[in-house]
Amino acid sequence: MSNRWIPAGRSSNDRRRFYWGEPKPRADSVEVIIRPTRHDAAFLIAQLVEAQIIAHPDVVLGLATGESMEPVYKLLCDAHRNYGLSFSGVRTFNLDEYVGLAADDPGSYRSYMEAHLFSQIDIEANNTHLPNGMAADLEAECDNYERSIAESGGIDLQLLGIGRVGHIGFNEPLSALRSRTRAKALSPATIEQNAAHFGGDHSKVPHRAITMGVGTILDSRRCLLLATGAEKADIIAKAVEGPVTSMISASALQLHPRCTVVVDEDAAAKLSQQEYYRWIFENEPEWKPFQ
């Protein structure tokens, strides 16, 4: 199994060989890909994103925050720096932003994106979108965000992490499966999980956030969810193999026509059908270049 990255000095034609094909329009099952390590899982996600950018330089990406995504963004920055991967035509929409934090607040997701990706690549600032958590009229801000996504032509490839409560974006338990971008109160479990990003001080974690809805996410053409580490094993098993329920927003991805869940061995540990997922990965021609 090789972890090929596109070798330095190759022409863009060579790089195209790594494209994993047009997204298939079929209504499919959720696909689960198990990679040996956290790095391998992030590497596959980065390869898929890069392939999309090469094939469609004006791709509309949906972006996620969180620790799981950090190695993905690092790999994309490396691809820009070392292999000339250009983001100049790429447009991005982030899943969510805290209410009440200014863009330049170190705890904001705008700051996260600037630090981990935007400041290190050639993306146009105007092409990067996050909800404005400081908007005076939050409802209008949410409607505008939905409108901007629609005007961009819709999200081609949506990256997702998963929270311990099973949220995607900040769609906390009981988020309607058809929900759209809106401001929402965060659950105590999410505040607890995210306190680490506020110096461990729970009182500093905002209590609300603007998030794309589950319905917004389901409208994307393709979803890639990344989960790594043993603390995600329980929730991944429930989201992928359990019933679709608004108690676990990520389970709604079972309704998505083209969703790929990439996990490392630790996060896969509680999936009952691991051998089946490995078999599919080994036998689907689409995945040959990534094995």
Residues making contact with ligand GLP (CB under 6 A): 64-68, 95-96, 161-163, 169-170, 190, 194
Least distance in Å: CB of 264 to ligand GLP? Answer: 12
- The token pair at 45 is 């996600």
- Residue whose CB is less far from ligand GLP, 38 or 222: 38
Q: How far apart are CA 153 and CA 132, in angstroms?
A: 21
- Residue whose CB is less far from ligand GLP, 51 or 71: 71
Strand 182-185, strand 208-211: pairing? antiparallel
- Residue whose CB is less far from ligand GLP, 169 or 206: 169
Q: Which of 242, 231, 73 is nearest to 159 (CA)?
A: 73
Least distance in Å: CB of 140 to ligand GLP? Answer: 22
- Residue whose CB is less far from ligand GLP, 42 or 271: 42
Q: Which of 92, 79, 39, 26 is nearest to 258 (CA)?
A: 26
Q: How far apart are CA 79 and CA 257, in angstroms?
A: 29
Least distance in Å: CB of 270 to ligand GLP? Answer: 16
Least distance in Å: CB of 64 to ligand GLP? Answer: 5
The DSSP result for 165-195, as a single string, is T--STT--TT--TT--SEEEEPPHHHHHHHG
